[in-house]
Chain A
Amino acid sequence: MFADDEINILVIVLDVNPIWWGQQAQREPQFTLSTCLDSLMVLANAHLVMSRTNKLAVIANLYQKSHFLYPSKQWKSGDEISTSSDGKYELLSVTNDLFAEEIRNLMDRTEVSGSHTDSLLAVSIAKALCCILNLWFMQIAGQDVKSRILVIKAAEDSTLQYMNFMNVIFAAQKKNILIDACVLDADSGLLQQACDITGGLYLKIPQKIALAQYLLWVFLPDAEQRSQLLLPPPVHVDYRAACFCHRNLIEIGYVCSVCLSIFCNFSPICTTCETAFKMPLPQMAKTKKKKVKTAN
């Protein structure tokens, strides 16, 4: 009855860092990029079949760029799409074919690069947000648009993207877009924060070969349905900041009011923006533990 009133958008951001996946193929031959792609395709098909108004996008996340696997720009070429002979729902067969074709082309075009081998996660999530907003504008009045982003993470975090990443997370939170994370290898603090802030689910998978099962069980239901289900409890997130001078995690520190950089010890000049601060009076230093100085 209400199927037409709700659009559910799922954007999958897949980490296809070829270096990590190549090493993974050597470590564990039974779970390689092909298996991962197959599992993702199963999830994508399931999502599309749940309702006629569900929408899907898939973005591949590489170190040089991030690329839309579906929907792809190649449709306009007017090529004949081979209709499947097994009577499968056409949308699914077309989706799968395009997906496969794009990933093949993408991998073919990959160049070897010595530097910058980290995946550009913030870029992909930003693209995902734009894509969701685009679909948002196409809604008919009275329709409810619910969207979520599922990030499949293979390689480690790239620390250089912190600022961009946080900006993207807060933008998602403002627009009520959930960010879910499915982590294959190493835990990622950034993604844990993202899931916590936006209200999504973070899951580190113990068995990679059962990826499809985890995806369908945990990540297929949308936000409303999740409240009715028993799902893994949220992870405890370590929100402690690291000081800018030593990169140690601290609980209490000093913050410069001009540039907001965090220090573990007081210093009269902020090293980031070179603002000078007044020396603290001795009695204040004893009683107060945390100070925020105003620039004069």
Chain B
Amino acid sequence: MASLSEEVLLVVKRVRQRKQDGTLYLMAERIAWGPEGKDRFTVSHLYADIRCQKISPDGKAKIQLQLILHTGESTTFHFSNGSTALKDRDATKELLQQLLPKFKKKANKELEEKNRMLQEDPVLFQLYKDLVVSQVISAEEFWANRLSLNTVEHSLSNNSKQEVGISAAFLADIRPQTDGCNGLRYNLTSDIIESIFRTYPTVKQKYAENVPHNLTEKEFWTRFFQSHYFHRDRISTGQQDIFSECAKQDEKGLNSMVTRGVKNPMVDLLLLEDKTLDEVRDCHGAGGRPTEAPSDQASETSSTDGNSRDSDFFQPPLKKVKLQESIEYDDLQGDSGRKTIALNLKKSDRYSHGPIPLQSQHYTTSQDIINSISIIQHEMRNYKPRLTQVMSSNAASSAITALSPGGLLMQGGAQQTINQLVPTDVQIELKHLYTAAGELLRHFWSCFPVNTPFLEDKLTGHLEEMLQAAYSKFQVWQTRRMMRKT
């Protein structure tokens, strides 16, 4: 038979189609039927193409199954295996019932999604027209990139769903019910079992080892609940308790972390305190304390890698350098002592004045001075910033007019803005080209980090071409514009 490399889920013999005897095969992605004695399938439909299935009512003599495709065609299979016909048909129907929804939703939903996105966003529509229709990017790549942008609720590919954490009280919630006669009854659902495995990974390990070879599930859980491990005593009494090992393993893990310890001898534990707003600002503020800031930063960066294993190797030189740094200050070292000749001036006040013309001095009387100072002091004593009333809108708009092209302050500069020089249709085209180029760049950047060969190829081959195509378009456009001007 053709392509037996596919996984075959179900084979049904003695199925007639169009009055011919044959065998029905259900594979992973399609359903196929081949006539008796022949090598190939005459009928083959992908699950994705099948819209729905129908079965003949139970009372009828003929046991049939009909497949209706999206295109409207239908294919009927007649199960003629005598005694097992009904069972066969039902088995087929159920399998199809499971498989069809998976494929069906995918196909439809995707298309719907895409159409919806194109309709909602005119910019996207324009991009689609520019890039896909003019064959700069293939449609699959366009959508592959776009869909991953959208939120998780639209995830069609199997993104790992975010795992919900375990509630802290779940162990307490597994309260046993008294069984009436001196026993306890625990209700274990698969959720609870899942949570137990996540909390105690060693228990999961034990489960995998012992069930179903040594113990049944019931026995395993009985022992679990009975063991001291669960009851948090953690006293390994040396019994034949499979769970006593779990406690020991946990202890071992914690001990190893403690012995690894902190590597950096210069870690300043005080830095790990919470910082108030003041101190943080201090590090950033200017004119504050120049000496503290660099050493703060140095010890902070060292404390972050204090636990890495590499620092162990570099420890002695690191320590030395740090000690050296904190002892010496470069700028306080003595001068290098170059010999210079002093300038001998007789009238040095000319220098301080410099080659600038005399300016008319404003003479202020001492009374004026005293007045002014007292006015200012009086004003400033009650100064409170009122930032919402800094200026009136009239003043602001007259200032803006003065600063706009042609205004009072702008005489003599280069004055024409781009949007006055260029006609509207050219502007629109330019905007489209710009957004299309931006989209291509986004594809480019989304390829990093390059961790599959597909991405590598895309970058070096494919995307190059696409960018070339975009450039040449732009080139064409530009030459057109040039020619239009001349």
Show the binding face of A for B, using Cβ within 8 Å: 9, 11, 18-23, 25-26, 32-35, 37-39, 41-42, 45, 55, 57, 68, 71, 73, 75-76, 78, 81, 90, 94, 96, 99-100, 103-104, 107-108, 110, 112-114, 117, 127, 130-132, 134-135, 137-138, 140, 156-157, 159-163, 166, 189-190, 203, 206-207, 209-214, 217-218, 230-233, 241-244, 247-249, 258-259, 261-262, 271-274
Contacts and interface: CB of A to CB of B under 8 A. Distances in A.
Interface stretch (B12-20, B23-31, B173-181, B353-361): B353-361
B286 A272 contact: no
A212 B388 CA distance: 11
A20 B354 CA distance: 25
B343 interface: yes
A45 B387 contact: yes
Interface of B: 277-278, 281-288, 290, 293-294, 297, 343-348, 350-359, 362, 364, 366, 368-377, 379-381, 383-387, 389-392, 395-396, 398-400, 402-403, 405, 408-413, 415, 417
Interface class of chain A by DSSP: helix
A9 to B, nearest CB: 8
A25 B285 contact: no
A217 B355 contact: no
B391 A211 contact: yes
A172 to B, nearest CB: 16
Contacts of B290: 134, 137
Nearest to A253: B355
Query: For the complex, would chain B's binding face be called helix, strand, loop or mixed by DSSP majority?
Result: helix
Nearest to B405: A230
B351 A163 contact: yes
A137 B398 CA distance: 42
B154 to A, nearest CB: 25
A104 to B, nearest CB: 6
B278 A210 contact: no
B303 to A, nearest CB: 16
5 nearest A-B pairs in the assembled complex, by CB-CB distance? A22-B372, A162-B354, A71-B285, A233-B413, A241-B355
A259 B345 contact: yes
A100 B354 CA distance: 37
Contact of B386 (A20, A38, A232): A38
Contacts of B373: 18-19, 22, 110, 112
B408 A206 contact: yes
Given A19-B364, A231-B403, 12 more contacts: A22-B371, A38-B386, A41-B387, A57-B286, A103-B380, A108-B380, A112-B370, A162-B353, A163-B351, A210-B395, A214-B399, A259-B345
Given A33-B379, A131-B287, A137-B294, A274 B346 contact: yes
Nearest to B347: A272
Contacts of A81: 277-278
A26 B378 CA distance: 13
B381 A272 contact: no
A163 B390 contact: no
B396 A210 contact: yes
Given A100-B384, A244-B350, A247-B357, A203 B409 contact: yes
B376 A22 contact: yes
A223 B391 CA distance: 26
Contacts of A26: 372, 375
Contacts of B392: 209
Contacts of B381: 104, 107-108
B376 A138 contact: no
Contact of B287 (A41, A71, A210, A211): A71
A242 B355 contact: yes
A18, A90, A248 interface centre (most CB from chain B within 10 Å): A18
B385 A217 contact: no
A129 B185 CA distance: 79
Contact of B409 (A94, A132, A232, A261): A232
Contacts of B346: 271-274
A181 to B, nearest CB: 14
A233 B412 contact: yes
Contact of B362 (A156, A159, A203, A249): A156
Contact of B368 (A23, A37, A140, A248): A23
Kindly name the residue among A100, A163, A233, A249 whose own CB sees the greatest number of chain B CB atoms within 10 A: A233
A244 to B, nearest CB: 5
A42 B413 contact: no
Nearest to A209: B395
A21 B374 CA distance: 11
A37 B354 contact: no
A160 B350 CA distance: 9
A174 B383 CA distance: 39
A112 B369 contact: yes
A157 B412 contact: no
A157 B387 contact: no
A99 B350 CA distance: 39
Contact of A34 (B371, B379, B403): B379
A238 B75 CA distance: 96
Contacts of A45: 387
Contacts of A32: 379
A140 B293 CA distance: 12
A233 B413 CA distance: 5
Contact of A55 (B286, B297, B379, B415): B286
Given A159-B359, A272-B350, A37 B385 contact: yes
A191 B399 CA distance: 22
A35 B390 CA distance: 6
A26 B92 CA distance: 100
A18 B286 contact: no
B13 to A, nearest CB: 64
A41 B294 contact: no
Best-surrounded residue of B282, B347, B384 (most CB of chain A within 10 A): B347
Contacts of B400: 213, 217
14 contacts: A21-B372, A38-B386, A41-B385, A45-B387, A71-B285, A81-B277, A107-B381, A138-B297, A159-B358, A217-B399, A230-B413, A232-B410, A272-B348, A273-B346
